């Protein structure tokens, strides 16, 4: 998640419905327990998110698996009074009925958060627990400052477990079958071409 800036001193507490009226498609903000937190971003954050968004979107479209969305787009979770704004969300075709006009009513099937120094505790602890409890089936944590990437898959008992690593050391998605992540892609400059990534997934 991008860097967060609390603004609760200048804005009153709001209901989720009031927050939806207050925000718009250009506002990067989350609503948690009635309080609002504004987000901002960095160049590195945008580059990594953009790369993953293009690659994952192409994979999902080619396989006709559902829909990929990106911030700012709210995901409302029932297990806590929260409207989270993940960097990238995948919604499977079977769960498209959760989509509302400007938000997702329930968990995405897969969520990606690109971690900053400021957001590490929130992404790795607070959201980790929230997303598991709400039923987000797969959670990607891309920690750019530490050059660390993790994929967690929801187990039958409702807890996250590390994703499978294949014979080439690639992280393997359980939700998007056939999609693997070479973490070296995320830190190299320039990023690999989209064509080469899709070829590795058997799509070119």
Provide the residue-wise pLDDT of the chain in tens; the chain has 204 residues.
Answer: 444 434 444 677 888 888 888 877 767 777 777 777 777 778 888 999 999 999 999 999 999 999 999 988 899 988 877 788 899 999 999 999 999 988 999 999 999 999 888 788 888 998 999 999 999 999 999 998 899 999 999 999 999 999 988 888 899 999 999 999 999 999 999 999 999 999 999 997
The boundaries of the domain holding residue 122 are 48-200
Write down the pLDDT at residue 2: 47
The residue to which tokens 């989350």 are assigned:
30
Four-point Cα dihedral 19, 15, 135, 125, nearest 10: 80
Domain count, the chain: 1
Residue 8 CB-density burial (10 A; 0-12 exposed, 13-18 middle, 19+ buried)? exposed
Q: Within a domain: residue 41?
A: no
Write down the pLDDT at residue 7: 42
Pairing of strands 29-32, 103-105: unpaired
pTM: 0.85
- Does residue 144 contact residue 112 with C-beta atoms inside 8 Å? no
Say how many C-beta atoms besides its own lie within 10 A of residue 16's C-beta: 15
Q: Within a domain: residue 1?
A: no
Q: Within a domain: residue 35?
A: no
CATH number, domain containing residue 92: 3.90.1570.10
Q: Within a domain: residue 66?
A: yes
Q: Within a domain: residue 163?
A: yes
Q: Within a domain: residue 18?
A: no
Write down the pLDDT at residue 10: 62
- Rounded CA separation 108/89 (Å): 6
């Amino acid at each position: 998640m991008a860097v967060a800036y609390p603004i609760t001193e200048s804005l009153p507490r709001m209901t989720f419905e009031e927050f939806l009226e207050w925000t718009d498609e250009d506002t990067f903000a989350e609503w948690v327990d009635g309080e609002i937190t504004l987000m901002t971003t960095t160049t590195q954050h945008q580059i990594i998110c953009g790369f993953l968004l293009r690659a994952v979107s192409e994979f999902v479209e080619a396989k006709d698996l559902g829909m990929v969305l990106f911030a700012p787009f709210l995901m409302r979770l029932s297990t806590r009074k929260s409207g989270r704004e993940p960097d990238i969300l995948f919604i499977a075709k079977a769960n498209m009925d959760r989509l509302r006009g400007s938000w997702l009513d329930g968990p995405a099937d897969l969520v990606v958060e690109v971690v900053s120094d400021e957001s590490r505790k929130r992404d790795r602890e607070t959201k980790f627990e929230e997303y598991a409890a709400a039923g987000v089936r797969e959670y990607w944590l891309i920690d750019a400052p530490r050059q660390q990437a993790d994929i967690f898959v929801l187990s039958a008992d409702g807890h996250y477990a590390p994703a499978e690593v294949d014979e080439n050391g690639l992280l393997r998605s359980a939700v998007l079958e056939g999609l693997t992540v070479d973490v070296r892609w995320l830190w190299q400059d320039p990023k690999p071409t989209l064509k080469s990534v899709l070829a590795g997934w058997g799509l070119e």
